[in-house]
Structure 1
Amino acid sequence: MLAPAKLQPDNKLLAAVQSIWKYRISYLFIAPFMICFIVFILLPVVSAVALSFTYYNAIEAPRFIGWNNFRDMLSQDLILIKYALPNTLTFALIVGSGGYVCAFVLAWMIAILPGVYRKWFTLAMYTPSLASLVAMSIIWTPLLSSDRIGYLNSFLLKLSLISEPIAWVTSKEHLMTSMVVVSLWKSMGIGFLGMLAGILNVNPELYEAGRLDGIRSRLEEVWYITIPSTKPQMLFGAVMAIVSAIQISSIGTALSGMTPTPEYAGHMITSHIDDYGLTRFELGYATALTVCLLTIVYFAQKLSWKLFGTKEGE
């Protein structure tokens, strides 16, 4: 029996074109998304990766320099190694994980409230996430002012808990703490709403079945029923917490009113990128920093998928 003839390259191309034409209506429906994805996400990422291997100052044409930007990043950029990278990891770990845990706990507490109160507590928790950095600084600057008329200092002085005003946002010792507190206040965003929606949509029959199987406390209900039933929403919340922790890292500059922040206490990788890209116009090195930050975010999201992604058969 003769073996079937293998398709030639021209025949394969023709078959691919025919297959695309056959499902042309389907491709037409996804075309708007694909065009936006390619133009606003794929092309900028590819361009950033390409520019990270060049010297580019926005005036001269990019000049290929190989791995020099990444080598200088590890061997010569002391501010990055000593301040920006440790501050970013510390801030992201506390705000990302802390905000995520707070979002889940608050979502669970709101879910068990009667419906008439639930919407008002949800609105109160979600509203701060809508505030811009400028609005946040207007709200928090009087509270954290370093003089005696600052609300927090005035309150603590009246209670005799401190003897002199504390420089909450202009000192190296307290700036990071202030940034974390303000960021946690703002962290109840879209991820919080997603987890709340997931908890509210858990099938009540699962809780009844759990009680019949021996579950006797709210904590056991959360561990054995609520968390497994809301894995997709928790994954979404984890990804949003990572992105929010990266985006809000410029809060140090907004609170202190200084660039760079006092003794680089609130200096983040994003601030470092802005410094090299928008002030020094070393755009090749700035894009190399951006690629490193993108890599960190990618591995953080892979960890989130590992923890909360749906396994086969679940």
Structure 2
Amino acid sequence: MKKKKALYILIAPYFLIFFLFTIVPVVLSVVVSFTNFNMLEFPSWLGWQNYARLFVRDDVFLIALKNTLLFAAITGPVSYVICFVLAWVINELGPKLRSFATLVFYAPALSGNAYIVWTLMFGGDSYGYINAFLIKWRIILEPIIWLKDPKYIMPIIIIVQLWLSLGTSFLAFIAGLQGLDKTLYEAGAIDGIRNRWQELWFITLPSMKPMLMFGAVMQISASFAVSEVAVTLAGFPSINYAGHTIVTHLMDYGTIRYEMGYASAIATVLFAIMLGTNLMVNKMLQKVGE
């Protein structure tokens, strides 16, 4: 540390902000999760009662947990693979075409009003684009109220999230592919690599492990922390809690009921799930190229 004190001084402001606004709130949230705190009175200690209530008496949380795990199990891996495959394909294009294609695929993540398009498409009357198309071709006789029918709500949310998923991970993969050392492929050809798939597995993926891990963290965070898509499309709360997720459940108790101790318990459970998933994915990525 003495030899590199100048570097530590330079990164000290970042670590100070990170400690104050990330580490401290997380630790305080875990502590508050063991209390009864309504924002008005001083917290009173409850021990494990919030967690017992969460898993034993809160049926809505169990629905939210099931919805979140289903959503994450589908959108996380699928969007991750889509991000990498598109980045890999686009990387093979010329510079101008590559820039244009990157902008086109990244545009949905830039738009703040992207949900409006899907609200129009899944409109519940005959003017909704999908209903109008299906009625025109005699596939259905009357409009389907897509966003009010529990059996359609979660599939629609998954579709929209997949459409929006080409965000930071996609750009990280593009940047990683652009920065690869081309001489590695020449050395690989000498060592016996004969096709693009072998290049991908033994050279490209191992060389991109930092970007792959970063993309995995971002996709896991996005898939487990879904809330805005569900609230915008299905309402809050959704019909029969069909679009209810852990984060919307957290919003309910944290920003509406102000049961901050219980909300902190929900946040702690979500944090533990995301942390465990990240560790598991990290171990899987370490085996890439073996």
Which band: TM-score by shorter chain?
over 0.9
- TM-score, with structure 2 as normaliser: 0.92
Equivalent position SS for 1:271: helix
Q: Which residue of 2 aligns with 1:50?
A: 31
RMSD (Å) for aligned C-alpha atoms: 2.1
The residue number in structure 2 matching 1:280 is 257
| Deviation digits for residues 219-256 of structure 1 (CA, Å, limit 9, x no counterpart) | 33322222122111111110110112233333111012
Structure 2 stretches lacking a partner, 5+ long: none
Secondary structure of residue in 2 paired with 1:163: coil
State the Cα distance separating 1:30 from its structure 2 match: 2.7
Q: 1:306 aligns with which of 280, 283, 286?
A: 283
Give the match for residue 149 of structure 1.
127
Alpha-carbon contact 1:235-1:309 (below 8 Å) kept: no
> Offset of 1:212 from its aligned partner?
4.4
- 1:251 is aligned to 229
Q: Which amino acid aligns with 2:257?
A: R
What is residue 123 of structure 1 aligned with on the other side?
A: 103
User: 1:293 and 1:212, CA in 2 relative to 1: closer, same or farther beyond 3 A?
Assistant: same
Task: Pick from 75, 85, 88 the counterpart of residue 108 of structure 1.
Answer: 88
More deviation, 96-105/22-31: 22-31
Q: Structure 1: where are the runs of 5+ without partners?
A: 1-18
- CA distance in 1 between counterparts of 2:57 and 2:123 reads 36
1:275 CA drift (Å): 0.7
Structure 1 CA distance for aligned equivalents of residues 150 and 214 of structure 2: 34
Matched, 1:230 2:190: no
Question: Whole-Å Cα distance in 2 between the matches of residues 79 and 299 of structure 1?
Answer: 23
Kindly tell me: are residues 161 and 222 of structure 1, through their superposed partners in 2, closer, same or farther at Cα, counting changes over 3 Å? Answer: farther
1:173 counterpart SS class: helix
**Identity level (%):** 40
Per-residue CA distance 1:72-129 (angstroms, 9 max, x = gap): 1111111111x10010001111111111010001001101112221001000111111
1:126-205 to 2 correspondences below 5 Å: 126-132=106-112, 135-205=113-183
**What is the rounded CA distance, in whole Å, between the counterparts of 2:109 and 2:239 in structure 1?**
26
Structure 2: how far apart are the matches of 1:228 and 1:309?
9
Give, as a single letter, the amino acid of the residue that structure 1 aligns with 2:13: P
Look at both structures and tell me which one has the larger radius of gyration over its CA atoms: 1
State the partner residue of 2:18: 37
Letter in 2 for 1:110: I
Change (3 A) 1:214 1:309: closer
Which residue in 2 is equivalent to 1:59?
40
Aligned partner of 1:267 in structure 2 is: 244
The CA distance in 2 between the partners of 1:287 and 1:260, in whole Å, is 20
TM-score normalised by length of structure 1: 0.86
Q: CA deviation at 1:201?
A: 2.2
Q: Which amino acid aligns with 2:119?
A: T
Matched residues in 1 for 2:227 and 2:156: separation? 12
Q: 1:202 to 1:26 in 2, by over 3 A?
A: closer
Across the two proteins, how many residue pairs are aligned to each other? 289
Letter in 1 for 2:225: Q
